[in-house]
Structures are given as C-alpha cells and as structure tokens.
C-alpha cells in the first residue's frame, strides 16, 4: 500500500522537525571561542565571493547563527549597498535598505529589522542566506516559516549564498516542491559550489 500525499507531507514535516532540533543542538555545542574563530574565517571567504556584487541582501544574525554584523560593516565599507530582511506579515519578507545599526529595531520575531516597510526597488546581486542546515547539493532547512523560499522564488536572479558552520552540513534532508536550493555554501573550512 502506498502512502497518500497528505501522509507524505506529515512524515516530511516530522522529519524536518527532528532535523531542526538536531541541528540546533549541534550549533549550541560549538564553544564560543571556536564560534568567533569560525565567524572570522567565514567572513573572509564570503567577502571574496561578494566583491563583484553591487547590492547584497543579508540577514542580521541572532545568537547562534554565523555572525553577519562584521560582514555587513565590511560590505558597506567596500561601497556595496546592503539590504536587510523585513517581515511584513506571516507570508511576506522584503529586502529593505540598511541605513545603519541605529536605524534598526526589534521586529516580529525579535530580529533586528529596518523601520521602513518600503521594499528595495531593484534586485539584489547576492542573497546571504541563514539556515539551520544544508546539504552539499544546496538543499536548505530553515526555521520553518518559508520566508526565504518565497523570496528566492520571487527573485530568481539573485545568487543565493548560505553561511553555516561545518557541523550544519548533512548528507540528506527531506524537501518539498517549495524548497529552493542555494548556489553556494560557505563554512569555516570551505566554499561549496552546489550542484543540484
């Protein structure tokens, strides 16, 4: 007997929930000393990748994520326009202009976000993507709200580069038709060019 699509979706959701918990735990286990060292290595690798970009859409990191504050500062010092995510409602995330750290406030999810609801009128050359885990072929598992997958679908020309620690790379993960892959993954050890 074959499982119904509804059963498959439920199983996939359960698998994703278990994988999210596992990956959060792996990230929590990283000592702060190593995390700071890894963040520097990831930043250096990313800045090489971002050099030709004119506009970069970058998440503002929270506690256990790869630190992006130094990345954002370096991008701006290089003359690159930085865009920051703004959650408008349960279904929509936009890229808004970044005017400096003093222009941000805690948003719906407690993440620093621009005060403006105005979406950047152009395309981002590069999207620096958060996530809990990734596969070498570019599959990504986030926090479960789908904001980035929807943004990727609406902005297919933006290069998608994920930042994570090596412990967040897994061999396999469940995916759905709405999951969008990343083009590159940068860890403290390597840059992975993804081959879907």
DSSP result, 6-63: HHHHHHHHHHHHHHHHHHHHHHHTS-HHHHHHHHHHHHHHHHHHHTT-SEEEEPPP-T
pLDDT at 37 over 60: yes
Mean pLDDT value across the chain: 90
Q: Which domains does the chain have, with CATH numbers?
A: 5-193 (3.40.50.10420)
CB of 125 closer than 8 Å to CB of 56: yes
| CA nearest neighbour of 93 among 111, 78, 72 | 111
Find the mean pLDDT for residues 35-46.
97
Rounded to whole angstroms, how far apart are CA atoms 92 and 78? 30
Average pLDDT over residues 30-37: 94
Q: What is the DSSP letter of 118?
A: P
Chain Cα centroid distance, residue 6 = 28
Q: What mean pLDDT do residues 173-196 have?
A: 91
Measured distance between the N- and C-terminal CA atoms of the chain, rounded to whole angstroms: 31
The C-alpha atoms of residue 69 and residue 58 are separated, in whole angstroms, by 10
**For residue 10, pLDDT beyond 80:** no
Locus of tokens 């963040």: 39
Average pLDDT over residues 173-183: 90
Averaged pLDDT, 70-85: 96
- For residue 165, the model assigns a pLDDT of 98
Q: Identify the band that residue 12 occupies on the pLDDT scale cut at 50, 70 and 90.
A: confident
- What pLDDT is stored for residue 146 in this prediction? 87
Q: What residues form DSSP beta bridges with 43?
A: none
- Given a contact cutoff of 8 angstroms between Cβ atoms, the answer to whether 23 and 141 are in contact is yes
Output the pLDDT for position 162.
98
- 11 pLDDT tier (thresholds 50, 70, 90): low
Taking only the tens place, the pLDDT of each residue in 137-159 is 999 999 888 899 999 999 999 99
Per the model's pLDDT, the better-predicted residue between 13 and 140 turns out to be 140
pLDDT at 6: 44
In the structure, what pLDDT confidence band is assigned to residue 174 with cuts at 50, 70 and 90? Answer: confident
Instruction: Grade residue 1 by pLDDT with cuts at 50, 70 and 90.
Output: very low
- Torsions phi, psi for 169 (to 5 deg): -85, 125
């Amino acid at each position: 007997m074959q499982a119904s699509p509804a059963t498959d979706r439920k199983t996939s959701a359960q698998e994703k929930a278990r994988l999210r918990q596992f990956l959060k735990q792996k990230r929590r286990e990283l000592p702060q000393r190593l995390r700071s060292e890894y963040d520097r290595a990831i930043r250096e690798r990313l800045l090489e990748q971002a050099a030709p970009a004119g506009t970069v859409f970058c998440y503002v990191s929270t506690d256990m994520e790869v630190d992006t504050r130094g990345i954002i500062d370096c991008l701006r010092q290089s003359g690159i326009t930085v865009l920051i995510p703004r959650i408008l409602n349960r279904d929509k995330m936009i890229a808004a202009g970044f005017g400096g750290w003093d222009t941000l406030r805690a948003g719906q999810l407690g993440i620093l976000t621009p005060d403006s609801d105005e979406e950047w009128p152009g395309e981002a050359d590069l999207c620096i993507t958060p996530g809990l885990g990734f596969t070498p072929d570019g599959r990504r598992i986030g926090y479960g709200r789908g904001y980035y997958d929807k943004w990727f679908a609406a902005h297919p020309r933006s290069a998608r580069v994920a930042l994570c620690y090596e412990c967040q790379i897994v061999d396999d993960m469940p995916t759905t038709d709405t999951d969008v892959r990343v083009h590159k993954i940068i860890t403290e050890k390597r840059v992975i060019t993804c081959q879907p």
